[in-house]
Amino acid sequence: MNIITSKKAEDIFNNYPENIRHKMLYLRQLVFDTASEISDIQQIEETLKWGEPSYLTKTGSAIRMDWKQSKPDQYAMYFHCKTKLVDTFKELYSDKLTVEGNRALIFNINENVPITELTHCITLALIYHQIKHLPLLGV
């Protein structure tokens, strides 16, 4: 699989406070690792959307991530609000993941990320165009 990284996104990561940087880089690597496990994905591109690191594939819906100074104890992964992704995440993992509205998964900096569930959510986003017609995204 071809991974296209972005110097501009890298600059964003480098400007996060130290205690956030490693958490954000962990999410980034989780997106890359998850994409590499999906046979239909030949390439993933890292770019900036709305000034936030974003990840695009031909088969999926964009994934963005960021930390905001206005909410220093949390960071988030964002999904397109016009998709069924976050509603599906809520249905599947409301006991494990914190969902905000119809667009975000929120993580507390003092808690561990639920890896299995988050990896599944990332997978669904990366192949969204192939599964969007299925009830509960085929889960």
CA max distance for the chain: 41
CA dist., res. 60 & res. 40, Å (int): 10
Which tens digit of pLDDT belongs to each residue from 10-55? 999 999 999 999 999 999 999 999 999 999 999 999 999 999 999 9
The CATH architecture that domain 2-138 belongs to is Alpha-Beta Complex (3.90)
CA dist., res. 120 & res. 24, Å (int): 18
* 115: exposed, middle or buried (Cβ count in 10 Å: 0-12, 13-18, 19+): exposed
pLDDT for the residue numbered 62:
97
- Token pair in block for residue 54: 């974003």
pTM for this entry: 0.95
Which tens digit of pLDDT belongs to each residue from 4-16? 999 999 999 999 9
Q: What is the mean pLDDT of the chain?
A: 95
CA dist., res. 79 & res. 88, Å (int): 12
